[in-house]
């Protein structure tokens, strides 16, 4: 309990706290269970990925079982992490993007025998170039992103956000103002991201200026993240 003294020397409670125990996962939304019980085959034209959400925590991808966590960003658009891989399922547009072993696969999900020749999510191209934003993950915990080319982002993590590093990144346009961004690379010592971080995947909504995502790397369990944006600088 966060207690402070008042002027009379009496302890009074203050439930407001910095939730340090959650680290960069502090503002993570509640998990979403809407996909439980559903299944899709995701086809990119050359390969098919059979994805079944058995229950709220277990899924299979091509019959391999995984623990999964799902966050919902906007209506009918889900960010699913299983292991260090990610599926963005966009049921509104009937599109899906997988990030498997670091490789991006944009495909079409279908759940019956009908195999649609649908559109797919596409590379964001230069959409994000010039975007500077600070993503707030918790109290005093944030990461600054400055997308200065199509495949490079300048990254600074709190509390050493002035110590920026240029990282490779790639972005997929999901729809409207929603982008899936993958930033590869490590983090300096002494920042709010876990030591050993090697990849940050974020589903960013530049309309509502909120995001969901995950941080993965060596030596720690993947961390699910959510939060909001504030102007950089």
Partner 1 sequence: MNLWEYPRPVYSINQFCQPHCSELAGQSFFFVMDSGYDCRLDITGADTCMWSIAGQEPQEATYECLKGDDTTYLLDYDVRETLGTNNRVNHLYIIDMEQSLVTRLVCTIGCNPKFPNLVKSEVDFGAIKVEGKDLPFKRHCFTTDLLGTRVEWHWSTTMWTRHDYFSTAYYRITWPEDSSAAKNIGEPFLSLPSTDERAFYVKIKENMYLFCLTEELTERLLQGKTLFCSNNMAFLQNYDRMYHVGRTFGTINSNGNLLPCRTLFGAFGNPVSLSPEFLNAENPYTV
Q: Give 49 or 79: the residue with its C-beta nearer to partner 1.
A: 79
Chain positions contacting partner 1, by CB under 8 A: 2, 4, 12-19, 22, 26-34, 36, 72-75, 127-133, 136, 138-140, 177, 179, 206-210, 227-231
107 versus 141: smaller Cβ distance to partner 1:
141
User: How far, rounded to the nearest angstrom, does the alpha carbon of residue 15 sit from its chain's CA centroid?
Assistant: 28
To partner 1, the closest distance from the beta carbon of 84 in angstroms equals 22
Min CB(62)–partner 1 separation in Å: 25
4 vs 64 by CB, closer to partner 1: 4
22 vs 198, which CB is nearer to partner 1?
Answer: 22
Find the shortest distance in angstroms from Cβ 165 to partner 1. Answer: 21
Q: How far is the CB of 81 from partner 1 (least distance, A)?
A: 15
Question: Which of 207, 73, 232 has the alpha carbon at shortest distance from 155?
Answer: 232
Of 228, 226, 229, nearest in space to 29 by CA: 226
**Could you tell me which residues come within 8 angstroms of residue 154 by beta carbon, excluding any fewer than 6 positions away?**
144, 145, 146, 148, 164, 165, 166, 167
> Helix or strand or coil: residue 20?
helix
Distance CA 70, CA 126 (A): 29
């Amino acid at each position: 309990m966060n207690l402070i003294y008042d002027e009379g020397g009496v302890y009074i409670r203050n439930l407001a706290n910095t939730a340090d125990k959650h680290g960069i996962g502090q503002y993570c939304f509640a998990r979403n269970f809407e996909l439980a019980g559903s299944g899709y085959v995701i086809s990119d034209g050359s390969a098919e990925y059979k994805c079944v959400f058995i229950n709220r925590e277990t899924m299979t991808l091509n019959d391999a079982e995984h623990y999964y966590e799902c966050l919902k960003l906007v209506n009918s658009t889900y960010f699913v992490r299983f292991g260090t891989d990610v599926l963005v399922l966009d049921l509104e547009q009937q599109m899906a993007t997988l990030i498997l072993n670091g490789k991006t696969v944009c495909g079409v999900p279908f759940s019956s025998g009908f195999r649609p020749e649908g559109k797919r999510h596409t590379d964001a191209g230069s959409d994000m170039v010039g975007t500077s934003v600070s993503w707030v993950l918790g109290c005093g915990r944030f990461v600054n992103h400055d997308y200065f080319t199509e495949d490079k982002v300048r990254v600074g993590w709190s509390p050493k956000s002035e110590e920026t590093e240029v990282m490779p990144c790639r972005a997929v346009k999901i729809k409207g103002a929603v982008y899936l961004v993958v930033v590869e690379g490590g983090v300096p010592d002494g920042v709010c991201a876990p030591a050993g971080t090697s990849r940050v995947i974020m589903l960013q909504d530049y309309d509502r200026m909120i995001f969901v995502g995950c941080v993965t790397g060596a030596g720690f369990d993947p961390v699910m993240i959510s939060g909001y944006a504030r102007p950089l600088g």
